[in-house]
Amino acid sequence: MAIATTRTSTTSVLNGGTGFGGLLPAYWSTVLGTNLYPSLYLYQFADFRNLPKNFGQVLKVPRSLKRSVAFTSVPATSEGSVTTTCQMSIQMISGTMKQFSFAYKHTDIVLMTALADVVDLSVKEIARQAALTVDTVIRDTISATGGFVGGSGVTTSETLKTTSILKSSDLLRAAVKLDAKNNPRPADGHYPFVTHPLALYDLQSTLSANAWVEVNKYNPAGMEKLYRGEMGRIFGVKIITSTNTKRLVSGLSVTTGSGYRSFMFAPEPFIVTRLDGVNACEVIIKPRGSAGAADPTNKYGSVGANLYFTVIPESWTSTEHRQQRVMHGSNVT
C-alpha cells in the first residue's frame, strides 16, 4: 500500500547531514503504508472512493438502491421489439473530509544515543496509531446503522446481559436477515463477521464437534484471499477478530455487565476514501535546527504524518440494510 506524499527538509536524517534526500519520500511512504495496511480491520470491508479533488471538503456519492422486485414486464425477444424501461432509484449520500495528525518529538540526546533508527520507529508507530484511528472512526460512525441481532436470542439491547453470549444461532440470524434484504453474498459465499477475540471463546465453547472450520482446512494451499484477522468460518460466515471491537458496559441491563458490539457485513456496507490515493497521507520529517529561533540550540527534531479521510455510513431505509449489529454479552473479561 503506497502512500502518496512525504515531506522532508534538505537534510536526510533527524540529527542533520546530507545525501540521498531525493530517495526519502518514496522510502518513508513505503514504510508508512507497509505498517498501516495490516492493522486495518473494518476498513477492508468498505466501498472505496478517491479523495474529492477540486470539489471541496465534502465527498458526495450517488448510490443506486437495490430493487426488491424484478421488472414489471419483460418483452419477448424478437426483432424490432422495444425494451420496457423503468427509472433507477438513486440516493445522494455525503461525508465531510477530516484531517488526523500524528507526531513524535525527539531530543538531541535521544537522536545521538538511540540504539535504533528513531525515524523508522516513529513512522512505524505512527502507522499503527493511524490505522487504529481509522478503524475507530469507522466503528463509531457505523455503530448506529443496520439491523439489530442480540446475543443468545435477545431481541432488544435493553434486555442484553452479560450472560447473553455470542452463539452460532446469532450468526445464523444475522446472515439470514442480510439474505432477506436481497444482499448478494461475497464471492466466496460467506459474510464477514468482526468480533472481539474474547467473544470468540464464547462462540467456540458452545459449538458441537466439527462445526468450526479452521482457516488451514479450507485454505490449505494459501490460494484463497483471506481477510485480515480471519480465524475460521461457520454456517456461511467468516469470523474476523479485532481488539478494537466496541466494548459495551452501560448499554447492558446489569451494571456489572460487559459485552461487545460486533458487525456482520454484506458487500458495500459503508463508503470510505482511499488511504492510498493522491495526497491521502503525508509523512513530514523535521530535522534538528529546522525550527529556527524557536529552537536556537537545535535540541529537537520531529517525525509526523497527516491523514485525510472520511467514512459515509449506511443511511438507507430498513429495506436497504447492508450490515447487522450483533450486540452480545461475554463470559470472558
Note whether 61 and 125 are same-domain residues.
Answer: yes
Provide the mean pLDDT of the chain.
84
Would you state the cell numbers that stand for residue 225, as one nine-digit string?
Answer: 484471499
pLDDT for position 57: 86
Q: How far apart are CA 290 and CA 62, in angstroms?
A: 45
- Looking at residue 8, its pLDDT comes to 47
292: left (phi over 0), alpha (psi -120 to 50) or beta: left
Whether 181 is covered by a domain: the verdict is: yes
What's the confidence (pLDDT) of residue 76? 57
Do 211 and 281 share a domain, yes or no? no
**pTM (predicted TM-score):** 0.87
144-186: pLDDT as tens digits: 889 999 999 988 887 888 889 999 999 999 999 999 998 999 9
Residue 216's CB is within 10 A of a number of other CB atoms, namely: 10
Return the pLDDT at 4.
45
Q: Residue 174 has what pLDDT?
A: 97
Question: Is 83 or 259 the better-scoring residue by pLDDT?
Answer: 259
Amino acid symbol at 319: T
- Do 188 and 225 reside in the same domain of the chain? yes
Q: What is the count of structural domains for the chain?
A: 2
Tell me the mean pLDDT in the region 46-52: 87
**324 and 178 in a common domain:** yes
Q: What average pLDDT score do residues 311-321 get?
A: 76
Residues 219 and 112 in one domain: no
Q: Name the more confident of 50 and 71.
A: 50
| Maximum mean pLDDT: which of 164-173, 208-217, 269-278 | 164-173
Do 219 and 101 lie in one domain? The reply is no
Q: Tell me the pLDDT band of 25, cut-offs 50, 70 and 90.
A: low
Contact predicate 230/238, CB 8 Å: yes
Mean pLDDT to the nearest integer, 248-260: 67
Q: Which domain holds residue 249?
A: 163-265+319-329
Residues 261 and 286 in one domain: no
Does residue 258 share a domain with residue 173? Answer: yes
215 and 246 assigned to the same domain: yes
Each residue of 277-309: pLDDT tens digit? Answer: 767 888 999 988 889 899 999 999 999 999 999
Query: Is a pLDDT exceeding 60 seen at residue 37?
Result: yes
Is 153 domain-assigned?
A: no
Residue 145 lies in a domain: no
Q: How many other C-beta atoms can be found within 10 angstroms of the C-beta atom of residue 215?
A: 17
* Backbone CA torsion sign across 214, 218, 220, 222: negative
How far, in Å, are 8, 40, 44, 265, 277 from residue 284 at the CA level? 6, 22, 26, 36, 17
Mean pLDDT of 224-243: 95
